[in-house]
Amino acid sequence: MSVVDVLVVGAGPAGLAAGIEVAKRGGRVCVVDRNLEPGGQLIKQIHKFFGSREHHAGVRGVDIAVELLEEARALGVTLRLGWEVFAIRPGHAVDIVQAVADDTTGSAGNAPTESFDARSVVLAAGAEENALRFEGWTLAGVMGAGAAQTLINVWRVRPGKRVLMVGAGNVGLIVSYQLLQAGVTVAAIIEAAPRIGGYGVHAAKIRRAGVPILTSHTILRAEGVECVEGAVVAQVDGTWCPIEGTERRFEVDVICVAVGLHPNTRLASLAGCRLVFSPALGGWVPLHNAVLETTVPGIYVAGDAAGIEEASTALEEGRLAGIAAYERLRDVDAEGHAEIAAIQRRLDDLRGGPFCGGIRAAKSALQTAGETPCPAT
Amino acid sequence: MPGNLSQDGYLSLDELESAPGVPAHDRMRRGPVAVVECVQEIPCNPCEAACPHHAIQVGTPITNCPVLDAEKCTGCGLCVTQCPGLAIFVVDLSRSGETAAVTLPYEYLPLPEAGELVDVVDRSGEVVGRGRVLRAATTPASDRTAAVTVEVAREHGMHVRGIRRKEVDGNGHDR
Amino acid sequence: MRIEQHPILGPLPEAREVTLRVDGRVVTAREGEPIAAALAAAGIRVHRYTAKRSEARGILCAIGQCTDCAMIVNGVANVRTCITPVADGMVVETQRGVGRRSEM
């Protein structure tokens, strides 16, 4: 059994940032990720980021991933890539299993496991894409928008020739643009709400490229035998119900679903962390306080796993969780902690503006609800 | 949020009129000038640092919409490739003849070549005419965002915001 | 279906070619890529059939979370092809059903 100060689950921006902060303070830290290529969702973000200079504004996500990894490696952060955490036992003992075997010559699935003895754990395994159920939703060719983004920007493979994008939030708009860059036609973007949810500038790019955005439209069905051959959409009324006679068919071979993400809460749940349902944060989320500690002392959460936001907030939360995890900070210890205060200010800046009102309120509600009821240990 | 933007995904001329990043018409007639088509309060400010003449102001909080000081702006176009939202253009209505020049950010293949004739499109993606490409290039600082300058009919100066992309197979080869 | 030239990512980097056998068919792949990438590039979209109704499934999440892309690889079932890299000589089969039963 290996002993570490902090075990971090997930090598995305939050996890890497947490690992970096622990290593900077001289702590022993191991970051575990099931993917052989670390960087989380950053490695598929080929667009320039928003935000401010200290948040890498103007830098492409893929390049931010490279910088983070170099910093982590230089500081001696241990990365276990191709491994998955499957248990967190009290204390905390963390068990991992090899997800991607080195040797695929058929050892009948008895993948090796290892255990860690960790003073603290940071859960930074991100999110999952929401599914959308419609007739034909299981046909090959129906995939998450994030999945299509992985194909085009990481695997450098087109998912098909013509795509219908379902959802006009930032993910739907950005991935549509990236599909165009990859030489894939986007027949249309449909959005059930009466307004486009993503940023106007993302919508503007896609509209001047000739891609229609149909608000108040939903998908009725995907057509095809085993694979997508077409999609039928219809307009919806004020109660989200399809309006008869407005059906329209698009000949597409891919349907991308961009209807939001939800935090990945499996490990938090297994470890006994209390979850709360927060629509603004994407669904079930581990209850956490201002220093990102969950209801289980010593287990912290950061990034999309703590509520669906952005890469920039994931980075900052990762930093905060890394510091808190290493120093075993409870909420009260944050008073007067200069570094934590600076991070919290930067998080407030990132959460400013009308697009983030729901998130600000939700995060603040969690923090009042979760005066972490620390059981006597 | 402006009505047309949230509904159709592009700004109407009315919405642009009141935008703090859009210069007055007579400034456009005096020479090239930036047109910052960014009207939502999102946390973002690379445009401010991009301008060597300090003509774009965001300040704090960084959700402020960018404000253009059209008198300081020389129309150099450095901001065009720095805006992560690809929302800044340079418009020059001072040219002789019946033409205007529009510089726009471009991140597709194939990159058009100087001298090429292209279809030019408005914010809704509709073709409004033909244009001649004057310049099309990336620079190290532009980080793979090209600035494409296209000569268009004068009356299209505040309309043209893109060029019609050729149908390509993604490997830069025309279909 | 491969993206040879890309305005941001540049030209497709060189990679050693490896050979897979997918349901008996030879499929070439690029060393280092996940099995699912090679299949997508070859136009193969169906990875498995469900246990109860034999319905086709293909890539859904592409990051190892949903298991819709699972196939039998070198005789081992339930291998998530979206996160498992190719290897020369690898044998990949469409999976029918789940678990050990599908290997029979």
Question: Which domains are seen in chain C, by residue range?
Answer: 17-95 (3.10.20.440)
Distances (CA, A) of A173 to A70, A134, C26: 30, 21, 37
* A155 near C CB under 8 A: yes
Give A123-159 pLDDT, tens digit per residue. Answer: 999 999 999 999 999 999 999 999 999 999 999 999 9
Give C13-70 pLDDT, tens digit per residue. Answer: 999 999 999 999 999 999 999 999 999 999 999 999 999 999 999 999 999 999 999 9
State the DSSP code for C103.
G
* Interchain proximity A207–B123, CB inside 8 Å: yes
Mean pLDDT of chain A: 93
Cβ within 8 Å of residue B173, ≥6 positions away: none
How many other CB atoms sit within 10 Å of the CB of residue C86? 26
Percent of chain A whose predicted confidence (pLDDT) is above 90: 85
Question: What SS3 state is found at C83?
Answer: coil
Is the complex ipTM higher than 0.95?
A: yes
* B107 near C CB under 8 A: yes
Q: Where in chain A is the domain with CATH 3.50.50.60?
A: 2-128+262-369, 131-259
Q: Tell me the average pLDDT across A17-24.
A: 98
Q: Of A43-47, A313-317, A357-361, C53-57, which gets the smallest average pLDDT?
A: A357-361
* Dist. CA B61–CA A58, nearest whole Å: 18
* C7 near B CB under 8 A: yes
- Report how many Cβ contacts below 8 Å link chain A to chain B: 135
Q: Topology of A131-259 in CATH?
A: FAD/NAD(P)-binding domain (3.50.50)
Class assignment of domain A2-128+262-369? alpha beta
Say if residues A301 and A288 touch (Cβ distance below 8 Å). yes
| Neighboring chain B residues of C3 at a CB cutoff of 8 Å | 170-171
C86, two tokens: 């190719």
Cα B87-B50-A58 angle, rounded to 5 deg: 65
Give B72-92 pLDDT, tens digit per residue. Answer: 999 999 999 999 999 999 999
Give A324-350 pLDDT, tens digit per residue. Answer: 999 998 877 777 799 999 999 999 988
Nearest CA-CA partner of B90 in B112, B74, B113, B106 = B74
The chains found to touch A (3+ Cβ pairs under 8 angstroms) are B, C
* Interchain proximity C7–B170, CB inside 8 Å: no
Q: Report the amino acid identity of residue A221.
A: R
The more confident residue out of A375 and A174 is: A174
Q: A215-219: long-range contacts (C-beta < 8 A, 24 or more apart)? A: A215/A168, A215/A191, A215/B7, A216/A191, A216/A192, A217/A190, A217/A191, A217/A192, A218/A134, A218/A190, A218/A192, A218/A242, A219/A132, A219/A134, A219/A164, A219/A166, A219/A190, A219/A255
Candidates B36, B62, B126: best to mutate against A (most CBs of A within 10 A) is B62
What does the pLDDT read at residue A336? 77
Low-confidence ranges of chain B (pLDDT < 50): 1-2, 169-175
* Dist. CA C96–CA A68, nearest whole Å: 41
pLDDT at A373 over 80: no
pLDDT at A21 over 60: yes
Nearest CA in chain B to A51: B44
| Neighboring chain A residues of C72 at a CB cutoff of 8 Å | none
Cβ within 8 Å of residue B34, ≥6 positions away: B21, B23, B51, B55, B56, B68, B73, B75, B77, B79, B80, B88, B89, B90
The chains found to touch C (3+ Cβ pairs under 8 angstroms) are A, B
* Interchain proximity A139–C56, CB inside 8 Å: yes
What is the C-alpha end-to-end distance of chain A, expressed in Å? 23
* C60 near A CB under 8 A: yes
pTM: 0.95
The more confident residue out of A14 and C100 is: A14
